Structure 1
């Protein structure tokens, strides 16, 4: 494996080198970098032209300019990267840092959500092949996949920001609106869980009643402006997540794993009270420190309770601790929502442009909400587009695996459908999905140009577009360096994941 990785790194380095030469030559020959100044009537035009020629090195041959850039990249090995300056004389490394930070915030969250949701939906549609649920998901998947991104972004800005901001000033839902939402969720959940007509009716009816009652209560107590979860909801949600994770992994019959997960939840509830003051106004360092403590507790819980299923118990406990940590973060953020509404943009929380509110000064959780609301709409857009492809690929891969002989053998041995799906079919179905994830993430690192443009994000896509328009190779080459390296690294991780998913590949 080490020899394989080193060989791939060597080949990838040569590919990146050749690609960088081609990218540099194409960029500098795509137009005139002095065109705007030649047409200017500024009395200092000649000095401005001379300054730009000096900044961009236009008097030097192209290979000397490329060599200077490559030498600056080579200094990254010793921690002193020099990617040159743009035509205005601003260091590109500073522009790249800001652009990469904005894009990574957007890409990582949307990719993780798309993977989890898309793969989950794909598995359900494969299991419920040719059912009504399968047809509905297929319809919406193809619709989302074919939607023009700019049009969907405009719709999100209209209904997810402008109209929502108008509604949140005095939130009120009519009974027919509450009933409609409850009915849609009831139909979706009943179709996803499947079963005979009686089971679907009971599932749908229970879902309808629960959602209708919850939304009616929220509307009555003005929950939409003053939301809160509290330790009760946190505990119930965490216990539910623990039971679901145990059911999908080892089954509720494995008491060792079940007790490990529930012990992790119990320790989390105690920690909620012990660290309440730190959670009220934390820093990012405190949050990550508390999360590390939660993981350590989860590992100890799994090791103590695991017995013969120790490895499984540890992984289940870690997953439970992660979910519970996210629920606690949501609880703390919701508790700051009312104060945030009163401190930002005249009570209009969802912004239609930009990555954060300029010069916003609030508490930690209010600033968390500010960045989160700015991130909301572009994340939803990218997630919807990616979920469509992930769900289709997963469905196709699962259907192919479910027809294999070893799956029929597992069923004939009397294994439960849960074991057949999670331990035999799903792991092998992930192999082609791994390739799609690697390419998708590496592509999105380059910046969702249309999405960033519509929502006014100054990310990698904006950096690349500006460099091309201005015939400025420095930002373009910085873009190429990051995206090319990301493509190499993600494909390398995909190869390693293949070996983990299928031990035969290691040989």
Structure 2
């Protein structure tokens, strides 16, 4: 393993050297960094041209200038832009902005895409499968700039207008209830009598919840509350256990329920005192402690097969703690929406933050969420389609393999066959797609960043090309090239972890 990684890294270094040299030469001949000064009518034009020539070493031939630039890279210096701004500072701001946007969107797109694709494969040729296929092809074919503009209009402007008086019209409640009933009916499957019962129960339940939210104007001042939190925590314990180990594993179920009960017991102390005065590092500390305590409960109750129980309790602990954090965020929603900077328009359309907002950790978190909401949805809608189709096709192919039939012949449950055998092997081709997508997305979602006013890696690259500014362009290329090589190496290692037939060596 170590020798394989070392060989790949050495080969990658030579590839990066060759790629950066070629890119530097192309950028150097693609435009003239002095073009704006040559067309200037300033009286000191000659002095400005001489200063920029000296600043960017433009009097040195491009092949030799590359090695001057490379020497700066070895010292951790990407040089300066044509405006004499340090590229390191520009790159740091761009990476922070892009990672904030892309990480959230990519993780959610992968989770949603894999989940919906797997369910679609398990419900092959059902109404749900046909609906998901239609939506996937629709989202995949939509131009992202058009999606972004529609989100601005209906996801921000119209939604902000509605939030001033958040009541849901009766026709909307009826339509949404029918849609929810159809979704649950296609998911559950079975005979028509069972489908009709599921449809009726889901439609009535959805209508009742929406009517309650409309009457109480819940969206103006949202909250979860202890009663709903308790139901959700217990439901998470049962649901995660059913997926992870199966409800027959009583040790995992009891350990998960203990974690949920601890979360319920800590609800009021956390909401009323422990989460006040929160900082980012304290928030991360609480998250780590949650995982440690949840894992410890699984460890003590899971003997002799502790691994699956620990995994289950840690997931349950993370989700139940996340619900408390979400409720704490909700408690500050009204204060945020009515602040003087937001002025009742909480869903943002431009930028990564509200200038001069101030506020505590929770208010700043809501502000980040409202600015991330629309660009994240835009990226998810496009990425979600490909992940859904790849995961569906991959799982369907795996389900027809001989070892799956052997597993079923041994008497294993459907959950065990899917989760432990089929799903793991179905992830192998999807890993390749994810590795390429993550490397590309970190390079910047150029159109999304432009429409929503995010100054990220994509904008840094485009602005550098437009101004014939070589150093920002090369900084972008070094970062994205390195990440592409790194994620492909990680994908190779993940292959070996997913499939024991693959040997890394």
User: What is the TM-score with the length of structure 2 in the denominator?
Assistant: 0.97
Within-5 A mapping of 1:105-504: 105-276=100-271, 277-343=273-339, 344-504=341-501
Matched, 1:33 2:29: no
Q: Report which stretch shifted further, 407-416 or 101-110.
A: 407-416
**Cα deviation digits, residues 269-303 of structure 1 (max 9, x gap):** 33333444231331111110101110110111011
Q: 1:268: Cα distance to partner?
A: 2.4
Q: 1:99: Cα distance to partner?
A: 0.4
Q: 1:363: Cα distance to partner?
A: 2.3
1:41–1:423 distance in 2 versus 1, CA, 3 Å: same
Segments of 4+ moved more than 4 angstroms? none
CA distance in 2, matches of 1:43, 1:216: 71
Secondary structure, counterpart of 1:134 in structure 2: helix
CA distance in 2, matches of 1:182, 1:329: 29
Secondary structure, counterpart of 2:304 in structure 1: helix
Contact preservation (8 Å) 2:336, 2:342: no
Q: 1:48: Cα distance to partner?
A: 2.6
Aligned residues: 502
**Cα deviation digits, residues 431-464 of structure 1 (max 9, x gap):** 1111111111011000011111111110000000
Secondary structure, counterpart of 1:506 in structure 2: coil
Contact preservation (8 Å) 1:257, 1:309: no
1:281–1:218 distance in 2 versus 1, CA, 3 Å: farther
1:48–1:359 distance in 2 versus 1, CA, 3 Å: farther
Contact preservation (8 Å) 2:233, 2:263: no
Contact preservation (8 Å) 1:256, 1:309: no
Contact preservation (8 Å) 1:278, 1:286: no
**Structure 2 counterpart of 1:17:** 17
Q: Report which stretch shifted further, 275-284 or 432-441.
A: 275-284
Contact preservation (8 Å) 1:280, 1:332: no
Within-5 A mapping of 1:91-110: 91-110=86-105
Contact preservation (8 Å) 2:280, 2:361: no
Contact preservation (8 Å) 1:281, 1:365: no
Secondary structure, counterpart of 1:346 in structure 2: coil
**Cα deviation digits, residues 196-223 of structure 1 (max 9, x gap):** 2222222222221221111111111111
**Cα deviation digits, residues 295-318 of structure 1 (max 9, x gap):** 110111011110222110000111
Matched, 1:47 2:32: no
**Cα deviation digits, residues 443-499 of structure 1 (max 9, x gap):** 100001111111111000000001111111110111111111111111121111111
**Cα deviation digits, residues 84-129 of structure 1 (max 9, x gap):** 1111111111101110001001111111111111011111111111
**Cα deviation digits, residues 62-81 of structure 1 (max 9, x gap):** 23322122122223xxxxx2
CA distance in 2, matches of 1:237, 1:208: 20
**Structure 2 counterpart of 1:78:** none
CA distance in 2, matches of 1:298, 1:67: 53
CA distance in 2, matches of 1:4, 1:269: 48
Contact preservation (8 Å) 1:72, 1:82: yes
Structure 2 stretches lacking a partner, 5+ long:
none
1:233–1:51 distance in 2 versus 1, CA, 3 Å: farther
Secondary structure, counterpart of 2:468 in structure 1: coil
Q: 1:189: Cα distance to partner?
A: 2.2
**Structure 1 counterpart of 2:72:** 72
Contact preservation (8 Å) 2:444, 2:459: yes
Q: 1:417: Cα distance to partner?
A: 1.4
User: What is the TM-score with the length of structure 1 in the denominator?
Assistant: 0.96
CA distance in 1, matches of 2:356, 2:42: 34
**Structure 2 counterpart of 1:59:** 59
Q: 1:181: Cα distance to partner?
A: 1.3
CA distance in 2, matches of 1:63, 1:38: 24
**Cα deviation digits, residues 373-410 of structure 1 (max 9, x gap):** 11000100111111100010011111110111111122
Structure 1 stretches lacking a partner, 5+ long:
76-80
Q: 1:187: Cα distance to partner?
A: 1.0
CA distance in 2, matches of 1:299, 1:363: 31
Secondary structure, counterpart of 1:224 in structure 2: helix
CA distance in 2, matches of 1:174, 1:290: 41
